[in-house]
Amino acid sequence: MVEDYEWVVVDSVPEAIEQLSRKRFAGLWITEGNLPETSQLGGLLLSGTMLSEMPQGVALLDEHHRVLWANRRLLMWAGQDSPPPGATLYEMLGNPEIMGPDFCPFHTAMATGFESTSTLHDQHNRYFQVHVAPIVSVGLVPTQADGRVPTATRFAAGGDTAAASEFAALPRHMIVTVGDITEEMLQQQKLAAIHKAGRELADLRPTEIFMMEVDERIELLKENIRHYLHDLLNFEVIEIRLLEHATGNLVPLLSVGIDQQAADRKLFAQPRGNGITGYVAASGVSYLCKDVVNDPLFIPGVADSKSSLTVPLILHDQILGTINVESFEADAFSDSDLQFLEIFARDVAFALNTLELLVAQKANTAQQSCDAIHSAVALPVDEILNDAVNVMEGYIGHQGEIVDRLRRILQNARDIKQTIQQIGQRMTPLEAVPVGMKSEHHALLAGKRILVVDEDHSVRDDAHRLLERYGCIVETAHEGKEAVMMVRGSGGEGSYDVIISDIKLPDFSGYQLMCRLGEVMNRVPMVLMTGFGYDPGHSIVKARQAGLHPKAVLFKPFRLDQLVDVVETILEINRKEATV
């Protein structure tokens, strides 16, 4: 009943609008004598100075979503002097894209009587947040003889449809407020892009770039950082230095657009005498230099720079280094630039930690030396092994002393290779890992003997280079007959933990080699290599029928992780069968 509601009485429509803007109401009642025509209602609202001058856009819509009135701000955004006759708000704003969360906010408000919100994106790359509030007009309130509203009668407005249902509904309208959220949306998009860029930086796995030279690794990381900082933050002059905690020295890692003299400058993580970079590295606090002329800490990295921005590289509360960017314009960097660079710096710190560039760079010279020696020795030693077992074949069963000497030659040759390999492993890390975490060394591979059979010199060389990093003992053969002699000369059963062979050898197919090895070994731990689709003799099919494991196939060219996975699969099978 009418008596059950609290009424708020005002003397004019603008006063009613003010009440509507501050409180929620169940309905709106206007006396018949004061009820304007629909075409006049906008003019009454226009008299409300507050709505007309609001920094947000405001519009009054009829039940068909047509704009009856719009304030100056909304008309300015729409590029109109007045609402086009019969146009909807969407049409007035150039039919923008509706981004949700409510894709039909006007229908929702009219159908439910409750407020609704959505976001619009127009052709000028502007974003608007639209808030729709229905106005439910109700009647059947008695008037006095002079037409005045009784004292107990109040205006009521809002979205309480349950309360309004007891009244006879008059034509309904909607009040729409529109806010320009372009800057906020663009900031969110930039933030999302920076996070995506950071994930891509950190996704560079050490196992994939280990074989790169130092300069190649630096160029790879530099190019990614330069690309993201340029495209996302419009930075051109960039310098990254890494902190040596033992000495406090800030070692230049990456420099883009930095003068060579500045890039070679010695800097330490100290708050004084080492520029802004030294201060940031010492304090762990970002530094925004708006005017280099009046900043006592600033040391230029490039001639004619006018402002700079420097942030620390921090991971788990540990300072790893700094990122410094400079501009040729004064006051070129905003607080938003500072925030975004700090976010990106965390991702760079994570990427550097994952790659362990600090350790890898220090160890690279020693690693290269060991690799060079080993590369020069590995295949020649294999040739010695091949020749020795070939000679030994002719003396087995005849002159035991010669066979013994040949076996000592074999062992000494193997010892030479293993010594070089062990020195290299002690001098350099296997792969980069975060500080404080134990490296994953693929313990299953350590000490396992692998025989690789392939006519291609590069394949045999790659087998040494890749597998011996994980502690494998690798030996190679050119052809099938040679491989059989290597197995027999090394003791037959158990001589090799894994035998990897090309499917097409100069003398045998991979399947034929597997069959001949089966005469020497009870179980052949075989892996077959092939190019995609190249198996004219159906070697793989036949080998699988003869017991080759389904996963024991490598497709050339193979990646390191694929090679390791296949070898570990065979080793795990060996381990399980040994326990049976």
> What average pLDDT does range 477-500 have in this prediction?
87
Is the separation of the CB atoms in 308 and 282 below 8 Å? Answer: no
Average pLDDT over residues 108-112: 84
Helices (H), 328-356: 335-355
- Other Cβ atoms within 10 Å of 435 Cβ, number: 12
Sheet holding 237-243, edge to edge: 250-256, 237-243, 318-327, 307-315, 287-289
Closest CA to 129 of 115, 118, 114, 143: 118
- Count Cα atoms within 13 angstroms, Cβ side, for 283: 14
What per-residue confidence (pLDDT) applies to 109? Answer: 85
Q: Which amino acid is at 500?
A: I
Give the pLDDT score at 213.
58
User: Distance of CA 237 to CAs 278, 324, 468, 551, Å?
Assistant: 18, 8, 42, 50
161: left (phi over 0), alpha (psi -120 to 50) or beta: alpha
C-alpha R_g of the chain:
39
Cα 237 from Cα 221, distance rounded (Å): 16
**Exposed, middle or buried by CB within 10 Å (0-12, 13-18, 19+), for 273?**
exposed
301-333 per-position pLDDT tens digit: 777 888 889 999 988 888 989 998 888 888 888
Strands of the sheet containing 449-453, edge to edge, are 473-477, 449-453, 498-502, 526-531, 553-556
pLDDT at residue 440, as a whole number:
47
DSSP 270-318: -SSSSHHHHHHHHH---EEES-GGG-TT---SSTT--EEEEEEEEETTE
Q: Give 343: exposed, middle or buried? Use CB within 10 Å, 0-12, 13-18, 19+.
A: middle
Domains 2-180 and 359-579 share a fold: no
Give the integer Cα–Cα distance in Å for 227 and 233.
Answer: 10
Q: Is the pLDDT of residue 105 over 60?
A: yes
- Residue 147: pLDDT band (50, 70, 90) is very low
Choice between 164 and 294, residue whose per-residue pLDDT is larger: 294
Average pLDDT, the chain: 76
CA nearest to 59, candidates 228, 161, 186, 176: 176
Q: Are strands 127-135 and 116-121 parallel, antiparallel or unpaired?
A: antiparallel
- Mean pLDDT to the nearest integer, 187-208: 65
- Quote the CA–CA distance of 345 and 321 in Å, as a whole number: 10
What's the token pair of residue 36?
């304007």
**What is the residue extent of each domain of the chain?**
2-180, 187-355, 359-579
- Separation CA 505–CA 437 (nearest Å): 44
- As a whole number, mean pLDDT of residues 53-81 equals 85
Q: Which residue has the tokens 């708020």?
A: 8
**CATH code at 359-579:** 3.40.50.2300
Write down the pLDDT at residue 279. 94
Least confident of 197-211, 389-403, 562-576: 197-211
Return the higher-pLDDT residue of 46 and 563: 563
**3-state SS, residue 187:** helix
Residue 387 has pLDDT above 60, yes or no: yes
| H/E stretch holding 541 | helix 539-545
Q: At what angle do helices 335-355 and 357-395 cross, to 10 degrees?
A: 20
User: How many other CB atoms are there within 10 angstroms of residue 405's CB atom?
Assistant: 14
**Six-digit token string for 100:** 């949700």
Question: Largest Cα–Cα distance of the chain, in whole Å?
Answer: 138
| pLDDT, position 165 | 42
Assess if CATH 3.30.450.20 describes domain 2-180.
yes
**CA dist., res. 510 & res. 543, Å (int):** 8
Q: Quick: pLDDT tens for 392-431.
A: 777 765 566 777 777 777 777 777 766 766 665 555 544 4
Q: Pairing relation of β-strands 553-556 and 116-121?
A: unpaired
pLDDT score of 468: 81
| Torsional sign, CA 533, 538, 540, 545 | positive
Could you tell me what percent of the chain has a pLDDT over 90? Answer: 17
Question: Do you find a cis peptide bond into 536, omega within 30 degrees of 0?
Answer: no
SS3 for 24-51 is CCCCECCCCCCCCCHHHHHHHHHCCHHH
Section 295-302 average pLDDT? 81
Cβ contact 354:347 at 8 Å: no
pLDDT in tens, 455-477: 998 888 888 888 887 888 889 99
34 pLDDT above the threshold of 60 = no
Four-way CATH pick for 187-355: 2.60.300.12, 1.10.3720.10, 3.30.450.40, 3.50.50.60: 3.30.450.40
Residue of higher predicted confidence among 490 and 439: 490
Mean pLDDT score, 495-516: 92
Identify the residue with better confidence: 206 or 251.
251
Report DSSP state, residue 433.
-
As a whole number of angstroms, the distance between CA 256 and CA 224 comes to 12
* 526-531 vs 553-556, strand pairing mode: parallel
